Homo-oligomer: A and B are copies of this chain.
Amino acid sequence: MGESMITGGAGAGVLLQLMRDGRPRTRAELTQLTGLARSTVGARVDLLLHKGLLAPAGEAVSTGGRPPATFAFNPSAGVVLAADIGATHATVAVTDLAAKVLAQREETMSITLGPRAVLDRMLQIGAELLAETGNSSVVGTGIGLPGPVEHSTGKPNNPPIMPGWDGYDVPGHVAAVLGGPVLVDNDVNLMALGEHAVVYPDVDHLLFVKIATGIGSGIITGGSLHRGAQGVAGDLGHVQAMGSPTAACRCGNVGCLEAVAAGPAIAAGVSAAGGSVAELINLVRAGDVEAANEVRAAGRRIGEVLAACVSLLNPSVVVLGGQLVIAAESLLAGVREVVYARSLPLATGSLQIVSARTGSQAGVLGAATMVLQHVLSPSEIDARLAV
């Protein structure tokens, strides 16, 4: 319970929160919606206009006399720098305050270069994108990384495929150049957040599953990201697959879902793919039957684990994302087949299992959403405006 709730709030933050839906409103409408005094609404609207967070939006229809002025949220009042840094590539974007992408670049980049090189390159791309958009008023930076992150400090926490990153002060490095706030999270969590914010804003319970070189998930419960006690919730890649498989996993255990159903495992089972995930995806796209069969079999194995997740969480939407899903309808079919067969009817009666609609933008959209949820929250706005 924030201080502003107890004291009733200065009002500007609550008022801006209402306006983020983009609808123009009059002072009278805002007075009615917030329950704040008319004089308070007037003063807060003036302040938000002065700060550029609201902008005049023309006149309302008159009910007699002079027509009242309307105001709307101004998403151009600042920009967010958003980065989705994967194992072998990075996507960097600049968005407005409504998380709309204004400029974006994707390039090959290995996470193994270490934090300084990777973050400096990200900052360089960011500077170029900011110059392109002509808006350098950065309100915050959001970064997704391909490993566990302690969200409260923004530091990677024993990430398995990120040599040199463990405990590195990512926010400190970036804030030294761009200022704060700098928020960091696991890339799959941000994909969940992005897909949820853009495609399913009204869904309370959603599970986003990424299937690529590894397998991971991001969980939305009660409309918010569920990070868990150590921030590692959603790690499905090392759950034991059904049927007691004996394949060795890079984590040191045997029979992990990732070791039998992620991209490399599928590619290894398709002779023509020669162990390459890119080649596997080409084969699937070209209609190769062996490749399609192997992908569907992997979908069933993933489905067996997701059936347990559906029984546990009872989500209304399961979204599959990642490079394999984008390429392979067979994967989705295999997952659906098993989840609908293995979960209780009550939990699957109105369950949707679908592929991601935000595609490769999910991560940067989530990074921007994370920053905006923070900097535009009522308590942050009140604190910034010091009212």
Question: Given the complex of chains A and B, what is the CA–CA distance between A309 and B228 in angstroms?
Answer: 12
Task: Select which of B6, B238, B349 is within 8 A of A34 by beta carbon.
Answer: B6
Copies of the polypeptide in the assembly: 2
Asked if A230 and B6 sit within 8 Å, CB to CB, the answer is no
Is residue A217 within 8 Å, beta carbon to beta carbon, of the partner chain? Answer: yes
Q: How many residues of A contact B (CB 8 A)?
A: 60
Asked if B311 and A346 sit within 8 Å, CB to CB, the answer is no
Report A214-254 residues with CB < 8 Å from chain B CB: 217, 219, 221-222, 224, 226-236, 238-240, 242-244, 251, 253
Question: Given the complex of chains A and B, what is the CA–CA distance between A244 and B235 in angstroms?
Answer: 23
Q: A14-B6, A243-B243 are in contact. Are A219 and B312 (CB under 8 A)?
A: yes
Asked if B239 and A312 sit within 8 Å, CB to CB, the answer is yes
Question: Given the complex of chains A and B, what is the CA–CA distance between A316 and B278 in angstroms?
Answer: 39
Is residue A205 within 8 Å, beta carbon to beta carbon, of the partner chain? Answer: yes
Main secondary structure of the interface of A (DSSP, over half): loop
Report A1-26 residues with CB < 8 Å from chain B CB: 1, 3, 5-9, 14
Is residue A84 within 8 Å, beta carbon to beta carbon, of the partner chain? Answer: no
Is residue A266 within 8 Å, beta carbon to beta carbon, of the partner chain? Answer: no
Interface string of A71-95 (1 = CB under 8 A from B): 0000000000000000000000000
User: Closest approach, in angstroms, between the C-beta of A298 and any C-beta of chain B?
Assistant: 17
Comparing A113-121, A122-130, A168-176, A300-308, the segment that makes contact with chain B is: A300-308
Is residue A144 within 8 Å, beta carbon to beta carbon, of the partner chain? Answer: no
Asked if A226 and B313 sit within 8 Å, CB to CB, the answer is yes
Q: A221-B221, A242-B240 are in contact. Are A314 and B344 (CB under 8 A)?
A: no
